[in-house]
A and B are shown apart, each in its own frame.
Chain A
Amino acid sequence: RKEVEQDPGPFNVPEGATVAFNCTYSNSASQSFFWYRQDCRKEPKLLMSVYSSGNEDGRFTAQLNRASQYISLLIRDSKLSDSATYLCVVRPFTGGGNKLTFGTGTQLKVEL
């Protein structure tokens, strides 16, 4: 089983739609969770951290379910500019150089 698993997509959605991505992780001792965004041929950039209580940043909502080892990202009112690959990222444990484990990403294409 992969340490971090994501549906690769692509998810093709019309502008204005709501879309949700899921991610599962295998290490129950994982400490921290993130969503990164990666545009085509660009570097990854932090979109948001994911907290146990769930958190929201504008149109983006992230949820964490530790019992099911499951992370989600909800994007409301999709924009063309949201088209990108969304990487689910897990920090397995504290210490050890702040190492992160990256999923392979879910591709989103927002269309007119």
Chain B
Amino acid sequence: NAGVTQTPKFRILKIGQSMTLQCTQDMNHNYMYWYRQDPGMGLKLIYYSVGAGITDKGEVPNGYNVSRSTTEDFPLRLELAAPSQTSVYFCASSRPPGQDTDTQYFGPGTRLTVL
């Protein structure tokens, strides 16, 4: 199992450009998440999904969009990139909440810089 994979690893965008961060998991997890981590800050939830076709906003959704057409994939779209979106983005997946089965597994992250 590759676990959770993310592409690209690094990206530099100009202000106003758009891009899609890709996330794929091969653990057949229903739940998937997107977080951002700014220096010295905790991870903040952007969007999450509890299954194909179902997405919901997290704590910091503004400036982002997501879709979940398959169980495996959960892409994050940035429209009109802004310097405030410079961050490290982590995708994660898990089983539904329950005892000892709901650990969130994280991908390696995408480091995004907006100039």
B106 nearest in chain A by CB position: A43
Q: Nearest Cβ distance between residue B99 and chain A, in whole angstroms?
A: 9
Which of under 10, 10 to 19, 20 to 34, or 35 or more describes the interface residues of A? 20 to 34
B48 nearest in chain A by CB position: A97
Name the interface residues of A1-49: CB closer than 8 Å to any CB of B: 4, 8, 32, 42-46, 49
**C-alpha gap A26/B36 in the complex (Å):** 22
Which of A8, A42, A44, A105: most chain B Cβ within 10 A? A44
Interface string of B88-115 (1 = CB under 8 A from A): 0010001011001011101111000000
B88 nearest in chain A by CB position: A41
Interface string of B51-66 (1 = CB under 8 A from A): 0000010100000000
> How many B residues face the partner with a CB closer than 8 A?
24
* B90 adjacent to A46 (CB under 8 Å): no
Q: Which one of A63-71, A72-80, A87-95 is at the B interface?
A: A87-95
**C-alpha gap A91/B87 in the complex (Å):** 23
If the complex has contacts A42-B108, A46-B103, A99-B48, are A91 and B97 also in contact, measured as CB distance less than 8 A? yes
Contacts of B31 in A (CB 8 A): 97-98
- Is the C-beta of B2 less than 8 angstroms from some C-beta in chain A? no
Q: Which one of B38-46, B69-77, B78-86 is at the A interface?
A: B38-46
Contacts of A105 in B (CB 8 A): 42
Q: Nearest Cβ distance between residue A39 and chain B, in whole angstroms?
A: 11
**C-alpha gap A8/B39 in the complex (Å):** 12
Give 12 A-B pairs besides A44-B106, A95-B97 with Cβ atoms closer than 8 angstroms. Answer: A43-B108, A44-B43, A46-B104, A94-B97, A97-B50, A98-B94, A99-B48, A99-B58, A100-B43, A100-B45, A100-B104, A104-B42
23 A-B residue pairings within 8 Å (CB atoms): A32-B97, A42-B109, A43-B90, A44-B90, A45-B106, A46-B103, A46-B104, A49-B100, A87-B42, A94-B97, A95-B97, A97-B48, A98-B31, A98-B97, A99-B48, A99-B58, A100-B45, A100-B104, A102-B43, A104-B40, A104-B41, A104-B42, A105-B42
